């Protein structure tokens, strides 16, 4: 399942997903399973009856657990032999390096994301069909990648033998067994718009992104997050004065694809379920820094409870909690990155500076410079 062509397509689609899911929109009313309610601009993002609903803070716990699992899986895939001489480990490392983000890629992300938003905004009807088809494909792939190692382990690797597939290269037999199951799951979501299936598919997309894209330096991470910071501010706060509507919120609530984690509001009133949600981009973009922090701790032999990973995770939770508090109190659309970027980047830089490692971390793991008393090989 490491075909470079499939991976390249998947990454392109994941970038589009991140572009369309940046807005932090809460309290979305579900009058019918098939359609999200869209408010008027300026968009209220939480039901007036919800106030500070416990679900707002449950979002923080869910996002943190997803990031913890995603970072751990990106570091060491389940049941994989990661010893230096392992063929599996070398193949995984080669695939991971192929998805390594460069400095220029961060600028391309903002350009592609902005163009995607504008196209979807102006051509919502046509683009929503195209995006839905693309997401049905990528969600099937991501769901298969999520469960593959567990099924492979459970079946005792009986279906691990690879066969050569035209245009895709060698593919394990298990891929063809899982593919129909994943397609059925996606089609079930498509026809029912079940919020539980939505969350499963969104979760698989997040994990797929975090395990496919890699940051190797603080320089690249800072560029990506700072650009995302201003990207969020522009499309949430400024776009309405240029385009007549809030482009980010219109796209995020208009696209009926699994680009958000939905959590039912516990204190909402009314016949229909109401949800608070967090966009895929608000998890995966800070999540790339979380993954980098965990790999840095692992390379240095630092306990993850005391290293970069811990401070970045704490900062993420604090930033998202503040965002949830503002959303639940004032009921307005919030660009979560204005809280998440400082919440994750500042603690990371502070720890690097306090340890005297800022110059080396800025260049990253691949620099092979000495950090303290230890060499940093790529894990």
Q: If you write DSSP's letter for every residue of 109-136 in order, what string do you get?
A: HHHHHHHHHHHHHHTHHHHHHHHHHHHH
Element (H, E) at 184: helix 173-192
Mind telling me the catalytic residues? 232, 282
Taking the model in full, what pTM does it have? 0.83
- Residue 11: pLDDT band (50, 70, 90) is low
| For range 302-311, the mean pLDDT | 86
| For range 266-277, the mean pLDDT | 76
Is residue 32 helix, strand or coil? Answer: strand
For 242-265, how does the pLDDT look when each residue is reduced to its tens digit (9 = 90+)? Answer: 998 888 878 877 777 888 898 888
**Residue 283 clears pLDDT 50, i.e. is over it:** yes
Start-to-end CA span in the chain (Å): 21
Structure token pair of residue 268: 């909402």
Using alpha carbons only, what angle is made at residue 292 by residues 18 and 370, rounded to the nearest 5 degrees?
150
Structure token pair of residue 182: 């994943």
At 312 the pLDDT is 97
Mean pLDDT of the chain: 79
- Residue 325: pLDDT band (50, 70, 90) is confident
What's phi and psi for 3, nearest 5 deg?
Answer: -55, 130
| CA 316 to chain centroid | 13
For 25-75, how does the pLDDT look when each residue is reduced to its tens digit (9 = 90+)? Answer: 444 444 333 333 333 323 334 444 446 778 888 999 999 999 999 999 998
Nearest in space to 47 (alpha carbons), one of 34, 25, 28? 28
- Rounded CA-CA distance 354/356 in Å is 6
**Residue 331 clears pLDDT 80, i.e. is over it:** no
Nearest in space to 62 (alpha carbons), one of 335, 306, 263? 263
- Rounded CA-CA distance 109/227 in Å is 9
Q: Which residues pair with 28 in a beta bridge?
A: 275
At 64 the pLDDT is 96
- Rounded CA-CA distance 56/49 in Å is 13
Cβ contact 287:337 at 8 Å: no
Structure token pair of residue 36: 């999200």
Is residue 198 helix, strand or coil? Answer: helix
- Rounded CA-CA distance 352/300 in Å is 13
Structure token pair of residue 9: 């397509």
How many other C-beta atoms lie within 10 A of the C-beta of residue 58?
16
For 111-147, how does the pLDDT look when each residue is reduced to its tens digit (9 = 90+)? Answer: 888 888 888 888 888 888 888 888 888 899 899 999 9
The DSSP symbol for 43 reads P
- Residue 96: pLDDT band (50, 70, 90) is low
Q: How far is CA 9 from CA 6, 132, 138, 144, 163, in A?
A: 5, 15, 9, 15, 21
Is residue 266 helix, strand or coil? Answer: coil
């Amino acid at each position: 399942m490491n075909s470079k062509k499939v991976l390249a397509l998947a990454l392109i689609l994941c970038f589009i997903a991140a572009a369309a899911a940046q807005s932090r929109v809460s309290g979305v009313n579900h009058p019918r399973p098939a359609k999200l309610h869209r408010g008027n601009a300026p968009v209220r993002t939480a039901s007036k009856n919800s106030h500070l609903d416990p679900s707002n803070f449950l979002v923080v716990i869910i996002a943190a657990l997803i990031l913890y699992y995603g970072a751990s899986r990106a570091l060491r895939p389940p049941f994989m032999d990661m010893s230096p001489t392992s063929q599996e480990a070398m193949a995984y490392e080669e695939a991971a390096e192929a998805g390594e983000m460069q400095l220029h890629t961060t600028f391309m992300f903002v350009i592609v994301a902005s163009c995607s938003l504008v196209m979807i905004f102006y051509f919502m009807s046509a683009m929503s069909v195209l995006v839905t088809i693309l997401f049905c494909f990528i969600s099937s792939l991501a769901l298969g990648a999520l469960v593959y190692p567990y099924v492979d382990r459970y079946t005792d690797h009986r279906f691990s033998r690879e066969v050569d597939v035209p245009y895709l290269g060698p593919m394990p037999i298990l891929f063809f067994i899982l593919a129909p199951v994943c397609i059925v799951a996606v089609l079930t979501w498509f026809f029912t718009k079940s919020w539980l299936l939505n969350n499963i598919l969104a979760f698989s997309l997040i994990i797929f992104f975090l395990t496919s894209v890699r940051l190797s330096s603080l320089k690249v991470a800072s560029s990506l997050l700072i650009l995302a910071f201003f990207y969020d501010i522009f499309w949430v706060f400024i776009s309405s004065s240029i385009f007549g509507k809030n482009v980010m919120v219109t796209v995020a609530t208009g696209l009926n694809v699994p680009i958000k984690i939905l959590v039912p509001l516990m204190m909402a009133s009314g016949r229909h379920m109401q949800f608070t949600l967090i966009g895929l981009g608000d998890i995966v973009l800070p999540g790339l820094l979380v993954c980098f922090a965990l790999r840095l701790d692992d390379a240095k032999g630092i306990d993850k409870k005391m290293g970069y990973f811990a401070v970045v995770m704490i900062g993420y939770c604090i930033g998202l909690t503040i965002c949830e508090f503002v959303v639940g109190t004032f009921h307005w659309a919030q660009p979560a990155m204005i809280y998440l970027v400082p919440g994750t980047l500042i603690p990371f830089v502070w720890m690097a500076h306090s340890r005297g490692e800022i110059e080396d971390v800025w260049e990253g793991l691949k620099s092979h410079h000495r950090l303290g008393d230890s060499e940093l090989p790529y894990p």
